[in-house]
Structure 1
Amino acid sequence: MVSLGNVTVDVKDQTYSRNGQLPGRGPINAWESDSQDAVTNAINTNFYALPRGTGFSGLGATLIEQFAKGGTDISQSALSTTSSKTQSPDELKVQQALLHSKADNLVSLTVKTASGKTVTFSLASQSGGLAAQAKVDGGTLSAAELKEIGKLGEAFQGAIDGLAAQPPKLDLSKLTQFDSSVLSSVDLSGKLKVSNVDNLTLAFHADSQSRTTRMSSPAGEVNLSVDLKNAGILGNAKQQAIALKSYLAQFDKAQSRGKADADLMAMFKDAFTAMNSNYPQGAKAPAALTRSAADQGLLTGLADFKASITQAVKSTNPARLGETDTFAYDVSQKTRVGGNDILNRTIDQTQQSNLKASFHLGLNGGQAPDLGTKRESQNYLYVQVDDKASSSANITYKDGFLTNASVDQSATQNTRTQRYEMGVLVKDTTAPNQASSHRDYLVLLEYAAREGKKAQGADETILKDALANMHQWVLLQDDPSVLPR
């Protein structure tokens, strides 16, 4: 018996007809292999979802599960009568090869082991064809490698289901949860046909040193990269959770301020969370960057990263095609460590964000009207947003003594609003808003280093609250009104 999601198939009780078709089942004319296994039955079950869906439901997990049991190559495909009935055996082999490599929908997971072997799992589909393949290069996999690869089945399927969902989602978090002492890297790539002219593409990579995600769709693009090499800057789980929550809240503010596509922003947030969670297993404990654990509170606790989201440009006003609806947002963190040793060291961590957006609204600030070429339709507001924010933390030691612990922050918001009535510009206003701040935490951190272990009762509570508040103010603030004037 083989379980495929909610479907249970008795493999032994099913036999194939002369043309490789399971009896009583649809138009499958040609099977690549006569294997009677879980992958074959999953393909047979899913084939009838084509072309309305990708046909990948449960297939990725089944492919990895079957491979993990034996570690041998798997290759299976099914072609419909209309696409294969006139093919000779040689022509059919060519068509099967093209299905595996050139189909409308392609998803693959490539796993490299620490011992140097490579395993690639791939799914392919199009109208009249569905295929699955697993290939291993570099030698026989060990039991430990097969076990760790087997754990990726749910992660692979989750990522596939997310891409195929409406609207699409980036479900990547479980792809980062592998033991890096057994597996050295995981790569996911995908291309799904979403219309006659448009594709959704994804490229994801994770190893112990870095993570990257690139997604492109008709709605726009998402790009993220995380640098894990400087493990010493990473905070504890609580510190990271606070930083992530703060960033996600700022992404929501950027979406609201720039009127971004909600589904595209949701993908960006999901990818950002996945890329900045689950530090690689098997990594050695990082060397300390500072003399005191309290000093780490001046850092976000996250790995350095770059992230951007760019919405597809739209021209929604036929009377003024230059008035485009746009949204582009980028955010980053970079940490630099200088000095010769822990007694004489500087740590500089800079966070920054940039938002540029433009959009149309109704005269009352609500949803934009249906703009046309007639003057009567040309009653609207055209808004352009240009925001910048930065936060720079510095920790400096000289001869073992903390000599500087400070945070400098700035935020600028510029909003230009043009008001059109009956196609005539009647008002053009620009509203700038900016603020900056400097906070010095040297005295607090000196006290924490000197008295932290001795503090008890109310004194201990006050110190903990002060350090927690310090970390909160280290995080990027994109709203000038939040910063003290």
Structure 2
Amino acid sequence: MTLITSTGASVLDRIAASRTASTYRPAGVSAQAANAAAKAASTTSSSGPTRVTLDAADASDLVYAKPRAPGFGPQRFWANARDDGLSELMTRNSGKDAVSLADRWRGLGSGLLKQLADTGAAYKQTLADYVPGADAAGAVGASDGTSGTDASATAAAAAALQEQALGGVSTNAAEVNLTIQTRSGHTVELKIGVNNGDQGGTRGLQVEVKSSGALSSAERKALADLGDGLDSALEGLGEGAPTLDLSKLMAFDRGGVLSGLDLKVENPNAPADVPGAMRAFSLHLGTDTKSVSMRTTSGEMNLEVDATPPKGAATNGQRWTAIDQLLKQIDAAADRGHADAAMTKSFKDAFQQLQAPPVDEDPSSASSVAKAVAKNDGQPIAINASAGGADEVAPVTPPMSDGLRSQVQSLQSGLADFKASFSADSQRTSRIGSIQEAGHADYRISQTTTDRPNTATGGRSISQAQTEEMDAHYEKSRTFTLDRAKGNYDAYTVKDSKTVTTLIDTVKDSVSRALRKTDEHRQKSFSQIENFKATEHNEWPSQRSVTERLR
């Protein structure tokens, strides 16, 4: 037998012990032992030692501490009394070592999706770790008696305390919202709320997953398969300096039963004095477009990529070569504008992952080409409302032969059409941590491809334009620390723009003409500032315009 004693137990102690045992079981404590502890705690007297007697089998599993009265110390509350793996995971993620959002999110995304996949049933749970203030402690502690009136007042106070604690978890919480659309028309919603308790709310976790209708076995499997991808994405976003790991989520529709995915994260508690801390993130994966946006304490970025393969879709090898070339182009622009390194890295990671070809299918394969033809060329009639209200039939664009497709793809960039930008403040520090340089950069890059019938040749007229702009300024210290307030520093500005346009004309099965035009404008300026006045100023403008004949 095991004897655990304590002194000074009150009615509040018995209520807290009963509630804690019935609604919260830490990982590693058996349900039988927890129930035994709850029963024993609820039947002890209001004074003298508290005696808890356990069977030997139970004693080996249970670690029991006399619960404190509500209002006098940390309290743990659960919205639902459950004995399951998700509740145990929430307990683990609420431990003292769980500090970052990554710690608090770990495994919950995949666990919730697996829960829905395994059972088909909705799930909702809230855990609150509540530390009441002095006012709450006094209000609850005032009813420490044994009469029926006092017991009722104590029970009401304890219930109010629990309701207040659980309700406070959603106040100023960091929220994850995942919405998945199935091709059958159902909507799956997953939510995770994390509160650190520093912004007026209650420290705790809140999770939920549900579906608008019954899911097929294939849909359930597709949800379960998304678990690792969701965990990887949240793991990267939840670190102090967010990183993007979206590659597994990009394959969300391998089974062909899902039609769309939207992931949104809001973090209202991002510390304003920490450069690059994540405030908001969103990912959209649809049949037409893929997009990523992220807002941090330093700035924001937005990317959108056409999800449909362009005419003359590139092979995987050409796509990866094109991605690598464009990433180098982004690096060169960021280096010239002294853009924020963390934002530039996130921007490049997002671009690469949105543009990457599917891992399980080569766009040059027969099935992929057939899909592209069906999507882009297999719609001979386009209906448009004319001014007179009658329908117009757009000219038919003839499908590409394999030979023509190969010729066209060799002349194009190899990338899906896109538009992307970032805007961010930047800092560069010395070895001792002092700020030596600060600035701001705006960067934009995009690609647009058009394909029209060419009635003169009986073929096509294809145009692909890629534009790039960098507008930046930064100030550098001439000593050890930048001090703009004293008006002594070196100021730089960068204003660059570049447009590359590829024009392709085809006949029935070959390219008849291909041109590439490049227009580039670059300007960098320097000003030496002394006592807020420019004592020296220099500019280095350059301009280039070139036309190349490719065919």
Q: Which band: TM-score by shorter chain?
A: 0.7 to 0.9
The answer to whether the 8 Å contact 2:443/2:469 transfers is: yes
Q: How many residues align?
A: 419
CA distance in 2, matches of 1:114, 1:97: 36
User: Contact conserved, 2:100 with 2:239, CA < 8 A, in 1?
Assistant: no
The one-letter code matched in structure 2 to 1:223 is: N
Letter in 2 for 1:330: R
Q: 1:169 to 1:313 in 2, by over 3 A?
A: closer
Structure 2: tracts of 5 or more residues without a match: 1-25, 42-61, 68-73, 141-156, 198-202, 362-366, 374-398, 430-436
Determine if contact 1:77/1:132 at 8 Å carries over to the other structure: yes
Are 1:77 and 1:129, in contact at CA under 8 Å, matched by a contact in 2? yes
Which residue in the other structure is 2:87 paired with? 40
Shift of the alpha carbon at 1:368? Answer: 7.3
The amino acid that maps onto 1:99 is: V
Question: What pairs with 1:347-366 in structure 2 (closer than 5 Å)?
Answer: 347-363=462-478
The partner residue of 2:264 within 174, 182, 189 is 189
1:385-440 per-position Cα deviation (integer Å, ceiling 9, x unaligned):
00011111111124555321121122221001111345542211110122232221
- Taking a change above 3 Å as real, the CA distance of residues 241 and 14 of structure 1, as seen in their structure-2 partners, is farther
What is the DSSP-based 3-state SS (H/G/I as helix, E as strand, rest coil) of the residue aligned with 1:48?
coil
Match of 2:543 in 1: 434
Q: Distance in 2 between matches of 1:404 and 1:97?
A: 68
**Following the alignment from structure 1 to structure 2, what is the Cα–Cα distance between the partners of residues 190 and 357?**
29
1:387 to 471, 496, 520: 496
Residue aligning to 1:260: 339
Measured in 1, the distance between the counterparts of 2:189 and 2:163 equals 21
Q: Which moved more, 1:77-86 or 1:112-121?
A: 77-86
**Cα pair 1:109 1:156 within 8 Å, conserved:** no
Are residues 1:175 and 2:233 paired? no
Tell me which residue corresponds to 2:420.
307
Q: Kindly tell me: are residues 182 and 37 of structure 1, through their superposed partners in 2, closer, same or farther at Cα, counting changes over 3 Å?
A: same
Pair 1:292–1:111, CA change in 2 (3 A): closer
- CA drift of 1:187 comes to 0.8
Does the 8 Å CA contact 1:343/1:400 hold for their aligned counterparts?
Answer: no
Pick closer, same or farther for the CA change 1:294–1:398 going to 2, 3 Å. closer
Measured after TM superposition, the shift of residue 151 of structure 1 is: 1.2
Residue identity in the other structure for 2:416:
A
Query: What's the counterpart of residue 527 of structure 2?
Result: 418
2:226 corresponds to: 152
Amino acid in structure 2 at the alignment position of 1:415: K
Change (3 A) 1:242 1:89: same
The Cα of 1:373 is off from its aligned counterpart by 3.8
- The residue type paired with residue 328 of structure 1 is D
Letter in structure 1 aligned against 2:492: V
CA distance in 2, matches of 1:297, 1:94: 64
Q: TM-score, normalised by structure 2?
A: 0.69
How well do the aligned residues superpose, as a CA RMSD in angstroms? 3.3
Q: 5 Å matches for 1:54-453?
A: 54=101, 55-82=104-131, 89=159, 92=162, 96=166, 99=169, 102-126=171-195, 127=197, 128-137=203-212, 139-179=213-253, 181-192=256-267, 193-195=269-271, 200-279=279-358, 285-287=371-373, 289=400, 291-312=404-425, 325-339=439-453, 343-363=458-478, 369-374=481-486, 378=488, 380-398=489-507, 402-421=511-530, 423-442=532-551
What SS does structure 2 have at the residue aligned with 1:107? strand
Corresponding residue for residue 458 of structure 1: none
- Alpha-carbon shift at residue 90 of structure 1 (Å): 7.5
Instruction: Give the drift of 1:226.
Output: 1.0
Q: 8 Å contact 2:312–2:405 — kept in the other structure?
A: no
From the CA coordinates, give the structure whose radius of gyration is larger. Answer: 2
- Residue 277 of structure 1 deviates from its aligned partner by 1.5
Q: Report deviation, 1:103.
A: 4.2
Residues 233 and 303, structure 1, Cα contact 8 Å, conserved in 2: no
Matched with 1:473 is none
Q: Distance in 2 between matches of 1:125 and 1:296?
A: 47
CA distance, structure 2, for counterparts of residue 8 and residue 340 of structure 1 = 70
Deviations 1:112-171 (A, max 9, x none): 11111111111111122112111111x211111111111111111111111111211122
